[in-house]
Amino acid sequence: MTDGDWRDGGFRQRRPSVETLAWVAASMGRGSRVVGHRRLTGGVCSAVHRLTVERRGIRTFVVLRQYPGGLGLRESLAKEIANLGVVAGSGLPVPGILATDVAGASTGGAPSLLMTRLQGHVDLHPAEPRSWLTRIAETAVFLHSLDLPAKTFRPWTDSWIAPLDGLQVPAGARKSAVWKTAFGVMAAPPPQDTAVFLHCDLLPVNVLWSRGRITGLTDWNSIHRGARAMDVGHCRRYLAALYSPEWSEQLRSLYESIAGVTLDPWWDLYALLHHDDSQPKWIRGQVAGRHPVDVPGMTSRIEVAIETALRRLG
């Protein structure tokens, strides 16, 4: 593998291959050429570059996502391409597809997706946290209002959580009884809830901002229809891990106030319990130095969020 390697759980591609740059140029129209490229921060399982394409004296920025060959991630890319087609024209700030090469036939074996560039950047240092959380809640409410097709979410086929007997109290837990109580709640069948359109990866690292407003939603690999509390819960899990359980709880309160609904605590717990001993490594890779990551305190903060959700069950 000459163009990149694996470090800290993520693929670090130094530069797109010559074949890839030729494919991009051909995809952008006759006379196009790639005159610049920059690796974007974050991606854990893929390499994302901003490319500068020049054609007839006009320069355009585009975004290239590539998966390393031989890692069995073509299916993930194919899903993202299909899902971007679902959300195109929905009113959500999503990238447009310019070209695809799922097989990697023209890109040196690297499955590739070429997209329009969205304005903005990932903001993990909000100057006004409540306003920041409010914008996320508003975007989630709008997302969940969309009548778009997607498969129904089936909780125990989720790849992140094994069957119930595989759930384990994380090593950093302070109150193992809290986790075991939550595992017990998961033993009950999931409650029926109104199925809405879900992003299923609505995390702060997948949201782009410019001048205090959200300008982009990225990483469309996992859309489903299911309980809205899962999207909010996954974001709450991330907020508790990276910031505080108070921020996590504030998002729930804001969402419920804006949407005029009460989030089901069972589904909220389901999302929160996706935290395990592997999560600090993944989050550190996704954050990629853009915010301090307090790994030792991460599990205990999630634990507080879980304890709060358990109290809501009554």
What is the tens place of the pLDDT at every residue in 281-304?
989 989 989 999 999 999 999 999
Same domain, 133 and 259: yes
Q: Which helix (H) or strand (E) holds 48?
A: strand 47-55
**Predicted TM-score (pTM) above 0.75:** yes
- Which residue, 116, 143, 175, sits at the end of a domain? 116
pLDDT above 70: residue 127:
yes
Same domain, 265 and 176: yes
Number of domains present in the structure of the chain:
2
Same domain, 133 and 111: no
The mean per-residue pLDDT over the stretch 248-276 comes to 96
Q: What are the tens digits of pLDDT across the range 30-70?
A: 999 999 999 987 666 788 999 999 999 999 999 999 987 64
Same domain, 165 and 306: yes
Domain that holds residue 279: 129-313
Same domain, 104 and 148: no
- Would you say 230 and 238 are in contact if contact means Cβ atoms under 8 Å apart? no
For residue 1, what pLDDT is reported? Answer: 28
Distance CA 53, CA 21 (A): 10
Same domain, 171 and 51: no
Q: What are the tens digits of pLDDT across the range 1-10?
A: 233 333 333 4
- Would you say 48 and 65 are in contact if contact means Cβ atoms under 8 Å apart? yes
Confidence of residue 13 (pLDDT cuts 50, 70, 90): low
The CATH number of the domain where 139 resides is what? 3.90.1200.10
The mean per-residue pLDDT over the stretch 163-167 comes to 65
Same domain, 93 and 138: no
Distance CA 179, CA 170 (A): 9
User: Does some domain include residue 186?
Assistant: yes
Distance CA 11, CA 16 (A): 13
Confidence of residue 159 (pLDDT cuts 50, 70, 90): very low
Same domain, 163 and 90: no
**What share of the chain in percent tops pLDDT 70?**
90
pLDDT above 50: residue 174:
yes
pLDDT above 50: residue 252:
yes
User: Does some domain include residue 124?
Assistant: no
Confidence of residue 187 (pLDDT cuts 50, 70, 90): confident
For residue 81, what pLDDT is reported? Answer: 97
pLDDT above 60: residue 24:
yes
Q: Which of the residue ranges 46-50, 104-108, 237-241, 284-288 has the most confident prediction, judged by mean pLDDT? A: 237-241
Helix extents (H) in the chain = 18-27, 74-87, 129-145, 176-186, 228-242, 245-259, 265-272, 279-287, 295-313
For residue 189, what pLDDT is reported? Answer: 85
